[in-house]
Amino acid sequence: MATQLLIYETAVPVSHARHGTCSVEVGKGFAFARNVNSVPLMAIEFPQASPEYPVVFAQGADQVLPAVILGARQNENLYLAGDDSWRASYLPAFIRRYPFVFSPGEDGQTFTLCVDEAFPGLNREGRGQALFTAEGKPSEYVDQVLKFLQEYRLQFVRTEAFCKKLQELDLLEPMQAQFTLPSGEKISLSGFLAVDRKRLKALPADKLHELAASDELELIYLHLQSMRNFNALKDRLAPGSEAASPAAGKGDEAGRAGKADGADDSAAQQRPPAGASSQLN
């Protein structure tokens, strides 16, 4: 299942000494995510992600976090088309923040902005958005990236608290998805958790009220409803299949980490423009 750095190959701290003449050009597709079959999801993203992806929970080394399932096999992303465009209208924030990521300090309270130097869009030819101004200061683009990652971190902490509550209430159980292809081939996908409906219904009234008052009960039902998307995932496995959902596309020259998709605007179709707000959902 997903880990926090699974698409990053060589993430290093952004500095003027190392990247003073560098620019970042996005809009060339999502090939960097071709070999992942799941990525982390923040709780705030459930309303936008649940109509298109199976939303599950993944057990990490020391915590449980939500994730969206992208493929039924290892190193398989069924939401990526042959031309590297994204075959869904909502693009998870984990994908949108690439090639940037925060690296936590030893105290766990400070974070350093890093960039994946393996990203082909990182260049010294002036293509895309400059990381530093001529005066050597971080560019407006970098400021917007920082705001986006700060918001991502905030939502990560809130998501951790949500998952911890699910564990405390003993609502999660291991699950397995099985697919049978038209060819007769059987595929089994395991290693994830889901909320058990019977345990949820058996909760005391006061616990259910707490979940409802905090809007966490809504998140649980969005997660449960998203399980039907495993059927759509099976359809994507069919030879020559191309999903009918709107594609996020290859994007434009704007920065991926500027503004996140809103449920009621056209940003859900493209990468967010640099200089926009840093909301995640």
Is residue 280 in a domain? no
Is residue 86 in a domain? yes
Distance CA 247, CA 58 (A): 26
The Cα diameter of the chain in Å comes to 63
Is residue 167 in a domain? yes
- Per-residue pLDDT band for 267 (boundaries 50, 70, 90) equals very low
The mean pLDDT value for 154-175 works out to 97
> Over 90: is that where the pLDDT of 70 sits?
yes
Residue appearing with tokens 């994204």:
86
Is residue 276 in a domain? no
> Over 80: is that where the pLDDT of 272 sits?
no
Give the pLDDT score at 261: 35
- Supply the mean pLDDT for the chain: 85
Is residue 61 in a domain? yes
Nearest to 144 by CA among 158, 130, 155, 156: 130
Q: Where are the beta strands (DSSP E) in 139-272?
A: 172-180, 186-195
In the chain, the number of structural domains is: 1
pTM over 0.95: no
- Per-residue pLDDT band for 265 (boundaries 50, 70, 90) equals very low
Give the pLDDT score at 247: 59
Residue 132's DSSP bridge partners are 138
Please report the sign of the dihedral spanned by the C-alpha atoms of residue 259, residue 233, residue 46, residue 153: negative
Give the pLDDT score at 185: 84
Exposure b/e, 84-110, CB count within 10 A at least 16 = b: eebbbbbbbbbbbbbbbbbeeeeeeee
Is residue 275 in a domain? no
Q: Print the domain residue range for 137.
A: 11-244
The mean pLDDT value for 90-105 works out to 95
Is residue 6 in a domain? no
Is residue 114 in a domain? yes
